[in-house]
A and B are shown apart, each in its own frame.
Chain A
Amino acid sequence: MASVAEESQRPPAARRRGGGSIIPALPAAAGLVAFFLVPLLVFAVYSFLTAGLYSVSGPLTLDAYGEAVASRVNRTLAANSAVIGLATAVVTVAVALPIAYWLRRSARRLRIPVLFLIIASMFASYLVRIYAWRTVLGSNGLINDGLRRLGLIDEPLEFLIYSRFAVTVALVHIFLPYVVLVIYAAMAPLGAGLFEAAQDLGASSRTLWRRVILPLMAAPAASAFLFVFILSASDYVTPQFLGGASGVTLGVQVQVNFRTLGNYPVAAATSFLMMAAFLACYLLSALVLRALRLHDIRFVN
């Protein structure tokens, strides 16, 4: 008992958990090494080989990377991907934070039903949702039809569909429940005392958010942000159905090279270049968090 009391006097940093072993994580790691890392390394080698028809052969060469980088199409598509990824990530995280807060502090009896509803929406299949968005955003769809009946518009709103807007909306719909889950998972264990103490000390809503909640949420929110950014920037199916010319993303090039052209080296090279770009984003966010000293805040009850 005494040791617990003593320990709780110590500053948070010194009380970070660390006594545990990393062993529980090893089975999963072994699986991933065997079934992900090994194939990945094989394809890493492929990316430096010469392309055959749905096959590779020596000699080693940088041609694949050169081709992937030099391609004009790739650069346009990469830009599209970045824009769509950013827009989706920003909207999703910005909306998830208030929702998680409401669940944590205001929901009471509604917490379980609402959480359940949010999680349940993740179970509608991807393809079906895309078609549902057509029905909602289309020129004769729910929104346009509704606005027309209300007399607010004469012609259907064109930008709603076959545009970056439609792609972003659909992707936000797919990732929002997930991000809410992540951020709520990080917010829920926070003791009520944290919020109440700040408010009892006279903090306004803004201050509460700025000084307490956002710093505490910075790391998980950044993870969620990156997550959504990477996945929406790589998604090439939603743009196929809902995007216009500006909605085509880079992921489609990987597919084209692997499947249609049988060019494994270029497909692999494009994939690795994308991966490198994403890792750079991850490093950047880690550095920023570290600089702001937000990277490893633990809350102590």
Chain B
Amino acid sequence: MERTQRSPFTATVTALSLLFLFVPIAVVVLFSFHSTGGLSFPFRGFSLRWYEEVFSSPEFREASVNSLVVATATAVVTLLLGTLAAYGLSHSRSRLRGPLALLFFLPLTLPGLFIGLSLLVLFTEVQIDASLATVTVAHLVYVFPYFLLVSLAALNRLDVALEEAGADLGANSWLVFRKVTLPQVWPVLVGAASLAFALSFDEFIITFFVIGADSTLPMFIWSTLRRTVNPSINAISSLLLLVTLLLFVISFVLTFRRGRKRRGVIGGEELMEQALAGDPIGGRT
């Protein structure tokens, strides 16, 4: 078992950073319960009216459903294509690596408006009808670099020896990937895919151009901004936070259970720690 390093400096930085990250989030959640429409202190009392408004408005509901559909599709496809791409890039010495990496990261350097408008012109030219599908395609272009950066960071760091050991023992690359590589990196991949979901859910500039006669939630919100800013946006955000919290808890619980079933002796939690530490499940070879 590795030693735990005591490090008051980094612990302090982490604690302060968590505070920094969560003070605004706490404000967001707090004001989602505000009894008036104000977003500033003094806080005038609690009420569920903004949640009621969010749930009762059909425009909200429709826009939310659109956003959810697109974000889920984006996250799933990004996870698949992105993991493949990161694996290919990190496990190959092909001369295509450089140009491909450039291609994958290039969308970052251009404004969202540019990507949205250029895609609209393309779709119009090729006569593809605008729909939630075109929005998903556009979102894929947008979130791909985010996913790739994280997954490459993990996949580039993998210990070669383990994979080679697997190969030497006769496993083909798919088996090596499934039994050696994936167990080490899946938490990171899932984290990155959920980021893809969050980014897609929140995106409105590119979305606006490639969507048909529908709206997603951010489009709806940004349009209402012209007239009024009220805690309904806080309510929506808090709901999203709650949903992702639940999803995370569920996925981690499932992992503990699975680990416990397979290993028996080693506790599920230790399994998780090993996985996150990059050690393959089952201990070192």
Given A22-B89, A135-B39, A196-B2, are A224 and B103 neighbors across the interface (CB < 8 Å)?
A: no
Contacting residue for B273 out of A19, A111, A183, CB 8 A: A111
B171 beta carbon closer than 8 Å to chain A: no
Select one of B28, B96, B167, B188 contacting A185, CB under 8 A. B188
Q: In the complex, how many angstroms separate the beta carbon of A82 from the nearest chain B beta carbon?
A: 14
Cα A188 to Cα B150 in complex, Å, equals 12
Q: Which of B37-81 contact A (CB under 8 A)?
A: 39-41, 81
**CB-based contact A35/B248 at 8 Å:** no
Cβ B140 vs Cβ A31 within 8 A: yes
The secondary structure that dominates the B interface is helix
Residue A279, interface by CB 8 Å: yes
Q: Are B11 and A102 in contact (CB under 8 A)?
A: yes
Contact with B along A117-150 (1 / 0, CB 8 A): 1111111111111011111101011100100000
**Contact between A227 and B149, CB atoms less than 8 A apart:** yes
Digit string of B181-207 for contact with A (CB within 8 Å is 1, else 0)?
A: 000110010011011001001100000
CB contacts under 8 Å to A, within B140-169, are 140-141, 144-146, 149-151, 153-154, 156-165, 167-168
CB neighbors of B among A1-27 (8 A): 1, 3-4, 7-8, 15-27
* Contact across chains for A135 and B41 when beta carbons are under 8 A apart: yes
Q: Is the CB of B4 within 8 A of A140?
A: no
Q: Is the CB of B110 within 8 A of A42?
A: no
Q: Which of A112, A128, A181 contacts B188 (CB 8 A)?
A: A181
Asked if residues A186 and B114 are in contact (CB atoms below 8 Å), the reply is no
Cα A23 to Cα B87 with chains together (Å): 10
A301 & B119 in contact (Cβ 8 Å cutoff)? no
Determine the distance from Cα of A124 to Cα of B241 in the docked complex, in whole angstroms: 6
**What are the residues of chain B within 8 A of A29 when measuring CB–CB?**
85, 100, 103-104
What separation, in Å, do the CA atoms of A23 and B46 have in the docked complex? 56
- Interface residues, chain B, with chain A CB atoms under 8 Å away: 2-7, 9-11, 13-14, 17-18, 20-25, 27-28, 31, 39-41, 81-82, 84-94, 96-97, 100, 103-104, 106-111, 113-115, 117-119, 121-122, 137-138, 140-141, 144-146, 149-151, 153-154, 156-165, 167-168, 173, 184-185, 188, 191-192, 194-195, 198, 201-202, 218, 221-222, 225, 229, 233-234, 236-237, 240-241, 244-245, 248, 252, 269, 272-273, 276-278, 284
26 A-B pairs within 8 Å (CB atoms) are namely A18-B91, A22-B94, A25-B88, A25-B89, A32-B103, A35-B122, A40-B106, A105-B4, A106-B11, A119-B194, A123-B198, A123-B240, A123-B244, A129-B25, A132-B27, A173-B24, A178-B195, A185-B188, A188-B154, A189-B159, A191-B278, A254-B113, A255-B111, A278-B109, A298-B156, A300-B160
